[in-house]
Amino acid sequence: MVLNKLDRAPPHYFGAGPALLPTEVLQQAAVELIQYQNLGIGLGEMSHRSSQAIDIINTTKQKVTQLLDVPDTHEVFFAQGGGTGGFAAVAGNLLAAHAHKTGKKGVANYIVTGSWSQKAAEEAERLGADVNIVVDARKFTPNGKYGVIPAQSDWKFTPNAEDIAYVYYCDNETVGGVEFHAPPEVPEGVELVADMSSNFLSKPVDVSKFGLIFGGAQKNIGIAGISLYIIKKSLLQHASLEQLRQLQVPIIPIFLDFPTLVKNNSAYNTLSIFALRIVQLNVEHLLAKGGLKAQGEESKRKAAKIYALLDKHPEIYKSPVAPTARSNMNIVFTIPGDGKEETFIKEAAIWGLTGLKGHRSVGGIRVSNCKSTGDVLPPAAGAPP
């Protein structure tokens, strides 16, 4: 079969990020990359401050607000830097907000349940933040690896809640396949920060429980080059630069300064309007599917099928994640035996199933449960019966 240049066979790609996107979203974006609204130029060429770009920014904000039912107490905005840039942005901005509120530097509290929350804590400390590790999940497993979410009775927050600038956690750890199925409980009055890069828009979220939600787009809502933030408006009030220097609070580069970004409607510097337009199209796609309730049910159903197979054949597949902490977005497992994982990956490719190799730091197999993957997978040409 000869495909149109904008067509593709139904993909069954399970890479964690950049991850699979709906074909119809990419087709629309591909056309608009060449020409947008008969302007004679495409999305990658027009000014981020043009009326068309501003309309994309505002419409995407409105659609995200609609999809997540974002309350009036919170603001939606966009930035560069990806999830890794967010590690630094969170530390600088949240400490500055705490300094404005209390006149103190504050202690950043990190719940470490995987490699991404570990990296976030390390980045905050590298910048000069005072960091308290609330819990390190590796200390609660026999092999010293990530795979559990320890009971909250084992967590140790900074004793005086007024000294806590924020509590940070990663809602879904892509490498270790660990996911929180409810937000963690934190001391009263303390702001909760969530990195939701890899499960954002995969399930309903009560935004009111969070001081800040952020994520790089490329794992679940778009392509690389843009990040999405939802912040409590009260956290946009920062101490002065002079006060921050006196308190030795890290001062964030201005392109990641939240008050500056919000004041300039996410366009203080050159935002990738093409990447943002893909976010808009993807959010509209989810709204048309029935919103996050429908998407959450679909994600659970697909993940349950895979976990049922793993549990049915423990003599073949080994799951390193505690059942209560299993991710619906990133299902990880190993296949013990010399060369068996390599054989699995090669034979899966014959069936058209790709992107299954685990993260380079841990190996194994990883099935990333993207929104576009189907339930019935037709065999590729030449597949075994």
Distance CA 167, CA 81 (A): 21
- Which residues are identified as catalytic? 116, 195, 219
Distance of CA 154 to the CA centre of its chain: 26
| Span between the terminal Cα atoms of the chain, in Å | 22
| pLDDT(384) > 50 | no
Q: Work out the angle at residue 170's Cα, subtended by the Cα atoms of residues 166 and 173, and round it to the nearest 5 degrees.
A: 165
- Superfamily of segment(s) 292-368: Aspartate Aminotransferase, domain 1 (3.90.1150.10)
- pTM of this prediction? 0.93
Model confidence over 205-234: pLDDT tens digits?
999 999 999 999 888 889 999 999 999 999
Fold of domain 51-285: Aspartate Aminotransferase; domain 2 (3.40.640)
| pLDDT(372) > 70 | no
Distance CA 81, CA 89 (A): 9
Q: How many residues does the chain have?
A: 385
**What pLDDT sits at residue 370?**
66
Distance CA 86, CA 347 (A): 38
Least confident segment among 89-98, 329-338, 361-370 = 361-370
Task: Let me know: does 161 contact 187? Beta carbons within 8 Å.
Answer: yes
Distance CA 204, CA 257 (A): 28
Is residue 332 within a helix (H) or strand (E), and if so which, with residue range?
strand 330-333
Q: Tokens representing 66?
A: 């609609």
Model confidence over 146-159: pLDDT tens digits?
999 999 999 999 99
Domain boundaries, the chain: 51-285, 292-368
Q: Which pLDDT band holds residue 376 (cuts at 50, 70, 90)?
A: very low
Distance CA 212, CA 191 (A): 8
Q: Phi and psi dihedrals of 214, rounded to 5?
A: -145, 165
| Neighbouring C-alpha atoms within 13 Å toward the C-beta of 85 | 20
Compute the average pLDDT of residues 322-327: 96
**What pLDDT sits at residue 19?**
87
